[in-house]
Amino acid sequence: MKIPRYGKLSARLRELGLSQTDLAYALHLSPGAISQRMQGNTAWNIEEMYRTMELCRISPEEMHIYFPDPATQRGRRSA
* Residue 79: strand, helix, or coil: coil
Does the residue 79 lie in any domain?
A: no
> Among residues 38, 29, 34, which one has the least CA distance to residue 8?
38
> Among residues 18, 21, 29, 3, which one has the least CA distance to residue 54?
18
Does the residue 31 lie in any domain?
A: yes
Does the residue 43 lie in any domain?
A: yes
Does the residue 19 lie in any domain?
A: yes
> Is the dihedral angle over the CA atoms 27, 70, 1, 14 positive or is it negative?
negative
Does the residue 2 lie in any domain?
A: no
The CATH number that applies at residue 31 is 1.10.260.40
User: How far apart are alpha carbons 54 and 42 in whole angstroms?
Assistant: 21
pLDDT for 79: 44
> Among residues 35, 31, 41, 30, which one has the least CA distance to residue 4?
41
Does the residue 74 lie in any domain?
A: no
pLDDT for 34: 98
pLDDT tens track, the chain, 79 positions = 555 689 999 999 999 999 999 999 999 999 999 999 999 889 999 999 999 999 999 999 999 999 988 776 655 444 4
How many domains are contained in the chain?
1
Does the residue 34 lie in any domain?
A: yes
Domain of 40?
A: 7-69
